[in-house]
Amino acid sequence: MSRVQPYSTIAKELLHDNGYWRYKHDRYTLPDGKKESDYFYADSHGSTIIIPILDDNSLIMVKQFRYLNQKKSMEFPGGGLQAGLNPEENAHKELLEETEMKAAQLINIGSFNPCNGITNELCSVYIAK
């Protein structure tokens, strides 16, 4: 098994900042140092997804319109983390905004990167009761 080696960053450029994430452009070289290339990505503060579970064990989802696909999507409540909020605060905020519900208890069950080729975002996942 070959050992994975990191790329070397040559330059970084901020293209846009919207408060939730920054769109960036990096120039880098491959580990062999011979080839330079470009990488465009969203540098994220993070996000949260909340899985609301009611007393009867039913789950709550919300219908969202998603611009990139130009269609509605059924999703668990959640959203991007604004600078200055921690993931649990964001989970409470998003749950209230999207469902008008407040959680008596939030349980963090982990985190994941939803699209590791496009963003460095870590999404914290909560169960809301």
The domain spans of the chain are 8-43, 45-128
Q: How far apart are CA 86 and CA 84, in angstroms?
A: 7
**The residue count for the chain:** 129
Tokens representing residue 118 in the block: 């496009």
The predicted-structure confidence for 73-111, as pLDDT tens digits, reads as follows 999 999 999 888 999 999 999 999 999 999 999 999 999
* Structural contact between residues 17 and 24, judged by C-beta atoms closer than 8 angstroms: no
The predicted-structure confidence for 12-29, as pLDDT tens digits, reads as follows 999 999 988 899 999 999
The correct answer on CATH 3.90.79.10 for the domain covering 45-128 is yes
Nearest to 48 by CA among 100, 106, 101: 106
Q: Is the pLDDT of residue 3 over 90?
A: no
| Secondary structure letter of residue 119 according to DSSP | B
How does residue 32 score in pLDDT terms, banded at 50, 70 and 90? confident
Tokens representing residue 113 in the block: 């990167």
Q: What pTM was computed for the model?
A: 0.86
